[in-house]
Amino acid sequence: MSKERIKISPELYDIMPSDYQDLVSSATYGKEDRGWKDIGTSKELIEQHSLCAGCPESMAFRYILASLPNPEDTVMVGSTGCTSLVFPMVAVHNIHSLFGNQNAIASGLKRALSVRFPDRIKDVVVLAGDGATVDIGLDMTLQAWFRQEKFTTICFDNELYANTGGQESGLMQKGFVAKMAPVGKLFDKVRLPEIARESGCHYVVNCTVSKPSLVEKVVRNAVLIAREIGPTYLQLYTPCILEIGKNSMEGLQEMRDSEKPTERFAFKEYISEPAKQLLAERDAKAKEKKAAAKQLVS
Amino acid sequence: MEPTSVIGTKNKKGQVFTDPRIMMREAPRTPSFYTGSEVIKEAIRRASIDVMIAYPITPQSEAAALIGELFAEGYIGDYFRGESEFAVMSQCAGAAFGGARVFTTTAGPGTMRAMENFPMWAGARLPIQCIVTCRGINSPLSIQPDTIEISYLMQTGMLVWHAETAQDFYDWILVGYMVSEEPEVHLPLALCCDGFFVTHTKDVVDLTPTDMCLPPYDPYRSPVPCMDMECPPVRMMRDPFIMKSNYISYATHASWQQEVWAAAERSRKHTIAWLNGLIETEDVEADVLIVTSGTAVSQGREAIRLLADEGIRVGLVKIKTLRPWPEEEIKEATKHATHIIVPEFNVIGWMAKEIKATIPRSERVIAGPRVCGGMTMPPEIIVEEIKRALGVRSGTLAGRG
C-alpha cells in the first residue's frame, strides 16, 4: 500500500476523524529511515492505549511500530492478552483471532500474501505475550519455525499471565510465588531463545526494551531477515509492574536491573550464517549510499 | 476488481475462468467413475483455490493428500501439512484474512480439536470451505462413520450442508464457494458427508470440463476489510470492547452475533438457486415420510422401494442444508404426514430433535432408527421402524430379537 492509498478526498476531509487526518498528513509510512526518533515528532502508528500507566509494554509497542521498516506493507498478528488491548488502536492491519494460535495465523497469512502479491514485499510480524508464545501456543510457535515460515515472532515476556491477573507462566522465574504457583514456581524459566535457535530461527534476540535504539536495531534486523531468509525471534522483557509490585515510574529501572550481564535479560543475539551475510550486504549498501551522499554534498 | 472481469481469461494451467452459472448448469458433463476422495480432488482442480492446508485423519486423509498432488501440478497457490487440526484451522484463517480462497478437510476428532476456530471463522466472516468427512468422536477410539460431529458444527455460525452422494459433493464444493463468498453472506461452509460411505466408495459422477474453473475469489467484496494493507488501516475503536462491562459493549457483541446468523439466513436465496432448494422431496402426499440428510437418505430410498413392494406408500424429504435450517420447507413438506421417520447415523438423534422443534404436532416424529459407531443402516431396519409405527406386523430382524 502506498501513502497515496490513504489520502482523503477533499470533499470528505473535514468529517474525517482528526486521528486519520494526522495519519495522512504526518505519519511515517514510506519513510526509509524511520525509527524511534520519530516518536513525538511524527504521527505515530499507535494511538492512546488502554494499558496501565507506566506499562513497559506500551513503550515497547511504540518503539516497535516506529521501527518497522515497511509499515505500509506490514500486517501484524496478535493474540489474547494485554497486547490485544492495544492492537485495535494500531494503524497497520492486525489480526486477533484466538489465544495461542498467532504463529499458525501468521503462517497462513504470509503464504496467502505471497500467493497474492508474488512481486511485492509484504511483511508479517507476530506480537504476543509469553503465555501465548510459550505455553498455550508453543506447538504452533515451534512448528512455524520448523517449517521456516518467513515472518518475525516477537514475544513480550512479562514472565506471567498479566491480563488474567498474574498467574504462573512458563517464562516465569523459578521460585516466584504467583497465582497458580502458590508455593513458588517449581521449574526453571523456559529457555525459548535457545530453543528458537535449535528450531531453525535465523535471528534470535533476548533483551529488555530499556533502550529504544536497541529495539529499533533488532526489530529492523528481525523483519529483514524474516523477509529474505526465514523465521526470526525476539524475546523482549516488558515487566508487568502491577503484578511484580512496582510503581508506574519503576518499569524502566526494573528493565535496567534485569539486563545486567549476569541477569536473565542480558543482551543475547544469535545470527545464522546466511543472516550474517544478509546484514553485511545491507550494511555495505548503506555505507555506500552514505559515502555517495557525502560526495554529493562536498 | 469485478470478478466477472476475468471471465474468459486463462489461469496458468490453461483453464478458462468461467461464469459459474455456465460452468455448473450448461457446460457438458462427463460421467466418471471415482471414489468420493477423487471427486473432492476433481472439484478442487476446478475451484481456483489459493491455499489448501492438510492434516491426516481418517477418512479424509486420502482427499487431503490428493489435493497435494494438485498443488504439485500447479493448480493451487500453496499447500502444506499443518501440525494439528487446531493449527490447520488457524492457518486457514490466516490465509483467509490475507484474502485467499481457502480449502481444507477434516473429520471426527479433528473437527472437535479444531472446534474453537469455527465460531472464530464465522465471527471474522472468513468464507473458508471445510470438508467434514464425519466419523466417530467417542472413546473407545473409532474411525467409522458417525455423524455426531455435525451437531456441534451446527451451533458455530458456519453454513452447514450435508451431502448424500459423491455427485452432491462435487457440485456443492464448487457452488459452495459461490454462496459463501457472496458479500451479504461471507461465511465459512462446513460441507459434510458420511465418512467412508461417500469418501471410499466409487460412484459415477458427472464432472464439468477440466478446462473450466471458477473465477478467483475477490477479497475486496468482503464485508470486512481484507488484512493485506491494501486498504486504509483505521483504528477500530478507542477502547476494545473486551475491556468494557457496559451496555454498549454487550450490545456490540450481541449485534455482531446476530449479524453472523443473519448472514447465514441471507444465504438462503443464493443456496436455493444453486442447490435447487434447501430440501428435495418425493411423494410428500404420503402419510408416512422419511425425513433426513446424508446417506441416511439413500438408505431411506431403499426402504421406500422395499415398502412399495408390500403396498406401503412412503414419501421422502432430503434435507440438504442444516444451516441455514429449512424450517418453512420442512413444515410445508410434512404438513400431511401422520408419521415422520428420521433415520440417523448418530446416537443422540440431533436431526430428529431439530425436526421436532420445527414442525407442529411433533409427536408425529419417530426419532429413529439410529445407528452409530460405524454400524451400517440396512434399509430393513427403516422398514421395520415404519411398520411398527403403522402397527403392521413384521418378521423379527436378526440380532434385534
Distance from C-alpha of A139 to C-alpha of A135, rounded to nearest angstrom: 8
Asked if residue A14 is part of any domain, the answer here is no
Say what the pLDDT of residue B399 is. 52
User: The complex's ipTM?
Assistant: 0.95
Number of structural domains, chain A? Answer: 1
Task: Give strand pairing partners of A123.
Answer: A74
Does the pLDDT of residue B4 top 80, yes or no?
no
Asked if residue A24 is part of any domain, the answer here is no
Q: Does B51 touch chain A (CB under 8 A)?
A: yes
Comparing CB atoms, the residue among B94, B99, B232 nearest residue A116 is: B99
Does the pLDDT of residue B2 top 70, yes or no?
no
Q: Give the whole-number percent of chain B exceeding pLDDT 90.
A: 86
Choose the mutation target among B125, B220, B230, B238 for the interface with A, i.e. most A CBs under 10 Å. Answer: B230
Asked if residue B272 is part of any domain, the answer here is no
Comparing CB atoms, the residue among B77, B124, B235 nearest residue A115 is: B77
The answer to whether the Cβ–Cβ distance between B227 and A75 falls below 8 Å is yes
Say what the pLDDT of residue B395 is. 67
Distance from C-alpha of B302 to C-alpha of A228, rounded to nearest angstrom: 60
Q: Does B72 touch chain A (CB under 8 A)?
A: no
B125 lies in the same domain as B213: yes
The packing angle between helices A212-228 and A273-297, to 10°, is 110
Choose the mutation target among A8, A97, A145, A164 for the interface with B, i.e. most B CBs under 10 Å. Answer: A97
Say what the pLDDT of residue B367 is. 97
CA trace torsion A50, A56, A60, A63 (10° rounding):
90
Asked if residue B264 is part of any domain, the answer here is no
Judging contacts by C-beta atoms under 8 Å, the chain B residues touching residue A5 are 230-232
Q: Which domain holds residue A143?
A: 34-297
CATH of the domain at B357: 3.40.50.920
* Structure confidence at residue A23 as a pLDDT band (50, 70, 90): confident
Residue type for position B121: W
Compute the mean pLDDT over every residue in chain B, rounded to the nearest whole number: 94
What tens digit of pLDDT does each residue of B121-165 get? 999 999 999 999 999 998 888 889 999 999 999 999 999 999 999
What tens digit of pLDDT does each residue of B279-318 get? 999 999 999 999 999 999 999 999 999 999 999 999 999 9
Choose the mutation target among A101, A121, A147, A223 for the interface with B, i.e. most B CBs under 10 Å. Answer: A101
The answer to whether the Cβ–Cβ distance between A97 and B93 falls below 8 Å is yes
Does the pLDDT of residue B237 top 60, yes or no?
no
* Structure confidence at residue B241 as a pLDDT band (50, 70, 90): low
Q: How far is B293 from chain A (nearest CA, A)?
A: 32
Secondary-structure percent of chain B, ordered helix, strand, coil, rounded to 5: 40, 20, 40
The answer to whether the Cβ–Cβ distance between A108 and B230 falls below 8 Å is no
B66 lies in the same domain as B212: yes
Integer distance in angstroms from the first to the last C-alpha of chain A?
36
Comparing CB atoms, the residue among B80, B120, B239 nearest residue A147 is: B80
Say what the pLDDT of residue A66 is. 96
Q: Which domain holds residue B325?
A: 279-390
Q: Does B119 touch chain A (CB under 8 A)?
A: no
Picking from B206, B221, B236, the residue at the C-terminal end of a domain is B221
DSSP 8-state class, residue A132: I
Asked if residue B139 is part of any domain, the answer here is yes
Q: Which residues, including other chains, have CB under 8 Å from residue B150's CB and lie 6 or more apart?
A: B132, B134, B160, B162, B190, B192, B322, B346, B350
Q: Does A223 touch chain B (CB under 8 A)?
A: no
What tens digit of pLDDT does each residue of A126-160 get? 999 999 999 999 999 999 999 999 999 999 999 99
Task: Render B348-397 in DSSP notation, one character per residue.
Answer: S-HHHHHHHTTSSSGGGEE---B--TT----HHHHHHHHHHHHT---PPP
Asked if residue B237 is part of any domain, the answer here is no
Asked if residue A109 is part of any domain, the answer here is yes
Say what the pLDDT of residue A22 is. 86
* Structure confidence at residue B236 as a pLDDT band (50, 70, 90): low
CATH of the domain at B199: 3.40.50.970
What tens digit of pLDDT does each residue of B169-206 get? 999 999 999 999 999 999 999 999 999 888 888 999 99
* Structure confidence at residue B115 as a pLDDT band (50, 70, 90): very high
Q: Residue B88's closest chain A neighbor by CA?
A: A104
Comparing CB atoms, the residue among A97, A113, A147 nearest residue B228 is: A113
Distance from C-alpha of B280 to C-alpha of B162, rounded to nearest angstrom: 13
Comparing CB atoms, the residue among B99, B120, B232 nearest residue A97 is: B120
pTM of the model: 0.95
Q: Give the whole-number percent of chain B exceeding pLDDT 70.
A: 95
Q: How far is A1 from chain B (nearest CA, A)?
A: 5
Least confident range of A6-15, A268-277, B291-300? A6-15
Q: How far is B116 from chain A (nearest CA, A)?
A: 8
Asked if residue A7 is part of any domain, the answer here is no
B290 lies in the same domain as B204: no
Q: Does A107 touch chain B (CB under 8 A)?
A: yes
The answer to whether the Cβ–Cβ distance between B100 and A72 falls below 8 Å is no
Size of interface A-B (CB pairs under 8 A): 155
Q: E-strand spans in B116-268?
A: 129-134, 159-162, 189-194, 202-207, 212-213
Average pLDDT estimate for B72-96: 98
Distance from C-alpha of B325 to C-alpha of B309, rounded to nearest angstrom: 33
Distance from C-alpha of A232 to C-alpha of A234, rounded to nearest angstrom: 7
The CA-CA-CA angle for residues A56, A48, A226, to 5°, reads 60
Say what the pLDDT of residue B401 is. 43
Picking from B194, B221, B248, the residue at the C-terminal end of a domain is B221
CA trace torsion B106, A76, B3, B36 (10° rounding):
-10
What tens digit of pLDDT does each residue of A53-101 get? 999 999 999 999 999 999 999 999 999 999 888 888 898 999 999 999 9
Going from the C-alpha of A17 to that of each of A13, A85, B234, B341, the distances in angstroms are 9, 21, 10, 60
Number of structural domains, chain B? Answer: 2
Asked if residue B291 is part of any domain, the answer here is yes
The answer to whether the Cβ–Cβ distance between A91 and B233 falls below 8 Å is yes
The answer to whether the Cβ–Cβ distance between B87 and A115 falls below 8 Å is no
Asked if residue B49 is part of any domain, the answer here is yes
The packing angle between helices B36-45 and B61-73, to 10°, is 30
Comparing CB atoms, the residue among A1, A104, A112 nearest residue B230 is: A1
Asked if residue B51 is part of any domain, the answer here is yes
Q: Report cis status (omega within 30 of 0) of the bond before B225.
A: no
Say what the pLDDT of residue B243 is. 64
B196 lies in the same domain as B294: no
Asked if residue A289 is part of any domain, the answer here is yes
Q: Give the whole-number percent of chain A exceeding pLDDT 90.
A: 81
Distance from C-alpha of A57 to C-alpha of A59, rounded to nearest angstrom: 5
B311 lies in the same domain as B217: no
Asked if residue A8 is part of any domain, the answer here is no
Average pLDDT estimate for A12-27: 87
What tens digit of pLDDT does each residue of B93-107 get? 999 999 999 999 999
Compute the mean pLDDT over every residue in chain A, rounded to the nearest whole number: 94
Q: Are A63 and A36 in contact (CB under 8 A)?
A: yes
Asked if residue A3 is part of any domain, the answer here is no
Least confident range of A210-219, B125-134, B202-211, B246-255? B246-255
Asked if residue A47 is part of any domain, the answer here is yes
Q: Does B211 touch chain A (CB under 8 A)?
A: no
CA trace torsion A290, A292, A293, A298 (10° rounding):
120
Q: Which of A153, A128, A133, A131 is nearest to A78 (CA)?
A: A128
The packing angle between helices A56-67 and A212-228, to 10°, is 50
What tens digit of pLDDT does each residue of B32-53 get? 999 999 999 999 999 999 999 9
What tens digit of pLDDT does each residue of A152-181 get? 999 999 999 998 999 999 999 999 999 999
CATH of the domain at A61: 3.40.50.970
Asked if residue B268 is part of any domain, the answer here is no
